[in-house]
Amino acid sequence: MKNVVLIGATGFVGSAVLNELLERGHQVTAVVRNVAKLLKHEHLIAVEADVADVDRIADIARGKDAVISAYNPGWTNPNIAELIRNNYPKILDAAKKSGVPRILIVGGAGTLFVKPGLRVVDSGAIPAEIMDGVRPLGDFYLNDLMKENVIDWVFFSPAGAFDEDGKRTKVFRLGKDDLITDADGRSHISVQDYAVAMVDELEKPTHHKERFTIGY
């Protein structure tokens, strides 16, 4: 059993990761904006905290096996770009300050390559209305994480899209820096299978200070 901190446990991806962690018997301290949104569970401790408070998050993470960050200010938040730019470096700093050995980050697909030299974010495939959330997270990966040598980190990029009616199949492919597509050219994954792969990585680390990705 791992003892982990999960940031953003009530979001779309975070809630799936939380369910997978609890299903496998891990102890979870969930950092959220509103604890009322979380169900009670014997292996779950809910904590209301601001991710921008480095000392508070470091205190929560101290002594844990890992931090998993599914932080997202909300796709409709008008300040999403600024919040991601400001808060993700703080989450990383808090994890380092806590002494926790590992941080696993729910990444984006924007920095994956669709072909040599062309990333998804520059391919024209991303709708303009979500670009304010996609580009800053990609910039954090490229400009901050790739230079990070103190803590063992992973940036787990999903496929190009999450299936609306996805299921937990446990049948998927993993890769490194290239967008994974199926036989029809679609890049997709269920949020349940994404969560399976995230917790697999927690339990049996195979990626260190690098990005990996998933798809069918």
Give 37-90 pLDDT, tens digit per residue: 898 999 999 999 999 999 999 999 999 999 999 999 999 999 999 999 999 999
Whether the CB-CB separation of 123 and 116 falls below 8 Å is answered with no
- pLDDT reported for residue 86: 97
Q: Which domain holds residue 68?
A: 3-215
What pLDDT band is residue 164 in, cutting at 50, 70 and 90? confident
8 A C-beta contact, residue 87 and residue 136: no
Q: What are the pLDDT digits (tens) for 8-37?
A: 999 999 999 999 999 999 999 999 988 988
Q: 138 pLDDT exceeds 90? A: yes
CA angle 33, 152, 198 (to 5 degrees): 60
Beta-strand pair 173-175/210-215: antiparallel
Total count of domains within the chain: 1
Predicted confidence at residue 32, as pLDDT, reads: 93
Give the CATH number of the domain where residue 28 resides: 3.40.50.720
Note if the pTM is more than 0.85. yes
Q: Using CA atoms, how far apart are residues 109 and 70, in angstroms rounded to an integer?
A: 14
Q: What is the mean pLDDT of residues 127-137?
A: 93
Residue 174 pLDDT grade (very low, low, confident, very high; cuts 50, 70, 90): very high
Pairing of strands 152-157, 173-175: unpaired
